[in-house]
A and B are shown apart, each in its own frame.
Chain A
Amino acid sequence: MVKTGLDTHKIVSQDEWFEARKHLLAQEKEFTRLRDRLSQQRRELPWVKVRENYVFAGPRGKETLADLFEGRSQLVVYHFMFAPDWEEGCRSCSFWADGFNAIGVHVNHRDVTMVAISRAPIEKLEAFKRRMGWNFKWLSSGNNDFNYDYQVSFTPEALENEVGYNYAKQKTDTSDLPGVSVFYQDSEGNIFHTYSAYSRGIDILNPAYNYLDLVPKGRDEAELEWPMAWLRYHDQYEDKSGKTRREAL
């Protein structure tokens, strides 16, 4: 045993470590199978036909929900928190976006199109996207009920009482909350809503947390005022020299 800054952690020989690791490996494999089963259960959900004709403001003008599929049959929408009167997108959502920005090209080749949708006007979304250097498609639902229908935005009146979020009634003072919704378009152009997740349901869609789950200190958020209090926009991390962390890495 050595005294460490983290705790009095057990230090062992390579052989002892292998024994402990193999024991954990069995649990990890069980978890992987459990997660695979859960993915299967998600896909077995019934679907609901979408009858509303949503029109969004995109980088090149108006686009319907059907347009967003871009010829593919599956659409994944990240509900990015960016209310019309905010000057910047939500910091946590920006963290999620930094995780998915580069994977769009890959999932496209699994018949999946990924987009982000927020209520802020398209000009604000475009400007923030440029600042962050992102390339995913980001659309404004500011002129339709999409965000309200998929329970990620709430009117001032609704906020006076408990709102429905993550399939439960809860009190919040935030007009917009995060989530993910999935849609399917069949060969005749019918669109179905298949799945939505919110709150910690989108936790493992942020791979950075899966990485933190592997390190000795883990997520290391217990002492913070709120779990993600350590987050900054990626262009606002600075080291002592005043460089952003990206420059200093």
Chain B
Amino acid sequence: MTKHMTGTREEWLAARLELLEAEKEVTRRSDELARRRQELPWVRVDKEYRFETDEGSASLADLFRRRSQLLVYHFMFGPDYTAGCPSCSTIADGFNGFVVYLANHDVTLSAVSRAPLTKLQAYKRRMGWTFPWVSSLGSNFNFDFNVSFTEEQQREGVVEYNYERGGHAMDATPVPEPVAQFAATCGTDAPTYSRDRPGMSAFLLEDGVVYHAYSTYARGLDGLWGMYQWIDRAPKGRNEKGIWWRRHDEYDNR
């Protein structure tokens, strides 16, 4: 028998009504945060970035695909990886289903990674995805938006990710077990794996000029996973002891 407290429908309802107020407060706070994001100043992007896309070479402005807003998902897939990061792949499973809605609401969502385009295309086919995914190989785009780092930065301990220096598990020594595990699933070692990081950046295009509006990293991406918001409402919650998620075609059948 369960050890959890059980009650009558009336007792449950009383507790639920109290919780409802807390939920409404969090919803209002979330709305307020979205407003503050919109109030952030923008930075004009003057640098010329080039990307390789399914349709050929493209500029940052081209990635908007005639819409005025661009969301870039910084998908961890370094040039030396043999497969995309499993966490990013889980996030992508979510947004693959609704990029079409964003596209109809003046937002192009595009994934950007440093791996060569042919690797991205092959992996995208394997996963059955349709969202735009371009390669930034050879440009400074990933480095400028703080999702790729050099060996030198790693060696000197000056990696700045999520607006702080050296604060992330991927910078810890010794290498945490989950980082080593994920590196192995991408066919690479931990230092190579850790030279690319996940993030989301928002850009605006107006009169041919691109502005950088917003970037978020690490747990700032938590609400973008899709699955976590559902798991959070289940009785056991996230209940995580180490990493459990895999690429959707790598789970044992059960």
Interface residues of A (CB under 8 A from B): 4-6, 9-14, 16-18, 20-22, 24-25, 27-29, 31-32, 34-35, 38-43, 45-49, 73-74, 76, 95, 98-103, 105-112, 114, 166-167, 180, 182, 184, 186, 188, 190, 192-197, 200-201, 203-205, 207-208, 210-220, 230-232, 234, 237, 244-246, 249
Contact = CB atoms under 8 A, between A and B. Distances in A.
A25 B163 contact: yes
A28 B69 contact: no
Contacts of B6: 46-49, 192
Contact of B222 (A32, A114, A231): A32
A13 B43 contact: yes
A248 B169 CA distance: 39
A34 B109 contact: no
A207 B41 contact: no
Contacts of B230: 76, 100, 103, 107, 112, 114, 205
5 contacts: A73-B235, A200-B24, A207-B94, A211-B95, A246-B100
Given A102-B93, A184-B2, A232-B104, A35 B231 contact: no
Nearest to A201: B23
B165 interface: no
A5 to B, nearest CB: 6
B7 to A, nearest CB: 4
B178 to A, nearest CB: 16
Contacts of B109: 211
Interface in B103-134: 103-107, 109, 130-132
Contacts of B245: 106, 109
B150 interface: no
Shortest 6 CB-CB contacts between residues of A and residues of B: A46-B7, A213-B34, A10-B41, A207-B226, A102-B93, A103-B227
A47 B251 contact: no
Contacts, number: 285
B42 interface: yes
Nearest to A166: B20
Contact of A230 (B19, B40, B94, B105): B105
Contact of B107 (A18, A197, A204, A215): A215
B49 interface: no
Contacts of B29: 31, 34
Size category of the binding interface on chain B:
35 or more
A58 B47 CA distance: 56
A48 B213 contact: no
Nearest to B103: A245
Contacts of B36: 24, 27
A47 B12 contact: yes
Contact of A110 (B37, B98, B236): B236
Contact of B26 (A34, A47, A192, A217): A34
A47 B7 contact: yes
A203 B27 CA distance: 8
Given A216-B202, A230-B104, A245-B103, A106 B248 contact: yes
Given A109-B245, A249-B131, A98 B234 contact: no
A197 B23 contact: yes
Interface stretch (B74-82, B180-188, B190-198, B204-212): B204-212
Nearest to B226: A207
B172 interface: no
B20 A110 contact: no
A143 to B, nearest CB: 23
B35 to A, nearest CB: 7
A220 B102 CA distance: 11
A127 to B, nearest CB: 20
B94 A42 contact: no
Nearest to A237: B104
Contact of B42 (A11, A110, A214, A230): A11
A31 B223 CA distance: 11
Contacts of A237: 100-101, 103-104
B224 A210 contact: yes
Contacts of A45: 12, 15-16, 19
Contact of A249 (B71, B132, B215, B223): B132
B219 interface: yes
A220 B34 CA distance: 11
B71 to A, nearest CB: 6
A190 B2 contact: yes
B43 to A, nearest CB: 5
